[in-house]
Structure 1
Amino acid sequence: MNKQKRITVADDDPGILDAVSMVLEMEGYEVSTTLNGNTVLTQAELPHVYILDIWMSGSDGRELCQKLKNDERTMHIPVILISASNDLKRSAETAGADDFLAKPFEIDALLQKIANVLTN
């Protein structure tokens, strides 16, 4: 079922990108990753879900989320913001995120959040 679902993951930590993409691919998702969050705004092929780190060098996941939610092409695509600071949950919601996950997170929690936003 997940074969046709594309997920874009943006985080400036290569270790997180590797781990998350490996697990998501094992779950059957098609994954694209980027260390530079700004590249999500110029993707030719849109994903079914965005997973964005809030604090990335060169970009802020909340700003990216707002841009995605204000763009007619991407406003319907769920955004899950992740951060090492649980204090940012409210600002993630304010930015228009569909969900928030604090690092470090359990992979099962991430998979559940992805399943939730894909069924809503």
Structure 2
Amino acid sequence: MQSRQSQQKTLLVVDDDLDILDFLHDLLSMEGYRVLITTKTEVLDQLQQNALPDLILLDVFLSGRDGREVTRHLKSQEETRAIPIIMFSAYPNVKATVQAAGADAFIEKPFDMDILVTKIAHFLC
């Protein structure tokens, strides 16, 4: 895997699986990103204009709230609509519904690390 210059871009990763959060935090930090992780989708409702992430990685199926609902909300708000959202799931058949919700990309779990890093870099260039 190649290291990418990221100019210390901030990524927000939302998943209810702590192992995945730890994995993504470590992987993306090694790529040079500032990585914020959370299991709480409420964080997305409280994003402040001066602290918006450069990209959001969001699980489709979250405890208590569907990631597609969160995506629709973020894409409907002027402050957050331009933030790229990459959604992920172990269920590849949700790809069409993810795109319909407004996600910018979809990646299947288990992650191919190179594909994930490449997709992120694509949206942050």
**Normalised-by-shorter TM-score class:** over 0.9
User: Which residue among 14, 24, 35 is the counterpart of 1:10?
Assistant: 14
Contact 1:3 1:30 in 2 (8 A): no
User: Following the alignment from structure 2 to structure 1, what is the Cα–Cα distance between the partners of residues 94 and 56?
Assistant: 18
User: Following the alignment from structure 2 to structure 1, what is the Cα–Cα distance between the partners of residues 109 and 95?
Assistant: 12
Structure 1 stretches (4+) deviating beyond 6 angstroms? none
Letter in 1 for 2:33: Y
Is there any run of 5+ residues in structure 1 with no aligned partner, and where?
Answer: none
1:89 is matched with which residue? 95
**Root-mean-square deviation (Å):** 1.0
User: Following the alignment from structure 1 to structure 2, what is the Cα–Cα distance between the partners of residues 41 and 116?
Assistant: 25
1:67 is matched with which residue? 73
Contact 1:54 1:60 in 2 (8 A): yes
Q: 1:105 aligned to 2:111?
A: yes
1:49 is matched with which residue? 55
Provide the TM-score with structure 2 as the length reference: 0.91
**CA displacement at 1:4 relative to structure 2:** 2.6
Letter in 2 for 1:16: I
1:34 is matched with which residue? 38
Identity %: 42
User: Following the alignment from structure 2 to structure 1, what is the Cα–Cα distance between the partners of residues 80 and 38?
Assistant: 17
User: Following the alignment from structure 2 to structure 1, what is the Cα–Cα distance between the partners of residues 7 and 87?
Assistant: 23
| Partner SS, residue 4 of structure 1 | coil
Letter in 2 for 1:27: E
**CA displacement at 1:118 relative to structure 2:** 1.7
Q: Deviations over 1:35-85 (max 9, x none)?
A: 112212213311000000000102111111111100110100100000110
| Partner SS, residue 97 of structure 1 | coil
Is there any run of 5+ residues in structure 2 with no aligned partner, and where?
Answer: none
Provide the TM-score with structure 1 as the length reference: 0.94
